[in-house]
Structure 1
Amino acid sequence: MPHKKAKRTVREKLRTEKGTDLAPGKDSLQNEAIPKSAARVFNSQAIRDDFKLKKRKMEEEGVGRAGKKQKTDKKVTLTIQPGESIQHFNRRVEDDLRPLVKSAAQSSRAFARGVAKAEHEARITAKKTKLKPKDAEQEELKPRSHDDSPLPTPSDKFKDRRKEFEVASSSTPKRLNDIAQAPPEFKKLPRGASTLPGIGKRDGVLSMSQKVMMEQEREKAILRYRELKAKRRQTGDVGERLESGGEE
């Protein structure tokens, strides 16, 4: 089969041979199937007419009221339909059983409420027979409690346990945003700390007499150092002369 398009002359020749007024082929729109949604719309009038005819016949025969389903005594067993999956079948079963379960739960709750009410009334009548008329009236006015026994008080099992952050007890009042006027004073040393002699603020201050004595001692030390240095220089010079004379 050639991939190239036929020449114009060839195409025009074939068109003239086929003609123009031809019957539709197999691929025309007339041979295509109508979609289901479109067919439902087209046939809606016919379906409505059939429903009205059936309704008129049922009203004439008196089988039942229109628009309501007839109740049948026969129990229909739920079976899986051909082509239906297990998931859809389970969902259909749940939908059918849901109203039955709901009605059963409502009836059981109503029965339980009736039993509780009967027991309460019997308890009140028994108390009325034992108590005086005034006491019985007061008992009726009291609000009902679900349980007469007092609730146990919860016990804290971590009450005696030592807390991680304990608050030191102090007599000074605690105020928010308090400003410290002076640094804290530690009068008692921590455990394991060595005791040091007490040093006051004025221990490092010298008097005038002490300053004069220190100046004198400083001058004496300087003089002794200078004398010692001069002696070493003299002995060093004599030794160098002796060594130089011996070499000559």
Structure 2
Amino acid sequence: MPHKRAKRSVREQKRKESGSDIAPGLKKAIENEDIPKSVSRVLNAAKVRQEWAEKKRKGFEDDGAGPSRKRRKQSGTGDGDTAGAKQTQLRIMPGESMAHFNRRVEESMRHTVKEAMQSSSARMRQVRKEELAASEKEKKKRAAEAEERTKGRKRIRAGDELDSDDDPSPRKAKAKEAGPKDFEKISTSAPKRLNDIVQAPPNIKQLPRKAKKLAAQGGSQKDAGGQSLSDGVRSMAQKAMLEEERERAIRLYREMKKGRAAG
């Protein structure tokens, strides 16, 4: 059967016919052997350097005096050949690891990602500036409206004061007359403040404890040249005179206060 080895005699005969010192076949060439990638990089180092030098020289010849990478990328964006070359470059190469391919893809996309980030940040800054400008404008508008309202209130108050000074209405005159006066008597039903109660003069409603004893002794003291309790009691004429004097003092005080307010 074809999958079985030939006989030993047949193999030895073929070996004698072919000889012992012969070149290896194409299948056994070193280029087709499975070798590590690090060894293949060392063996192909000269070829890689030569290809890189030719590529660099070609770029210098196309762009003149050696442009930068950014300029070369911009000049090649509108060219269909370079776009096709980029598409072919983004394919994984034979013998290339995934890590190296990912680095190459990131390198090719870095410029696009950077431009997108810059445009996005610029747009965000512009939107933020517009929002700040709108908020400042709104604040100024509110401040102007508040100031206008305050000025309107002041003008209304000034007009009311002028009207009241020039031609006071009977209602306002009545309100002024009905207002509180100095030394006005307060009714007992009205609530009193604590300060009014504290500063009020003392009101003696009951006689002291020894008043009766002193009244009993009043006759003997009067005979001896002393004074009785009835001596300190005012007469009705004295009370009327004191009331008239009080009213006159109040009237003079009010006139003096009115003159100061007018001056």
Q: Same fold (TM over 0.5)?
A: no
TM-score of the pair, normalised by structure 2: 0.30
The higher-RCO structure (CA 8 Å, 6+ apart) is 2
Higher helix share: 2
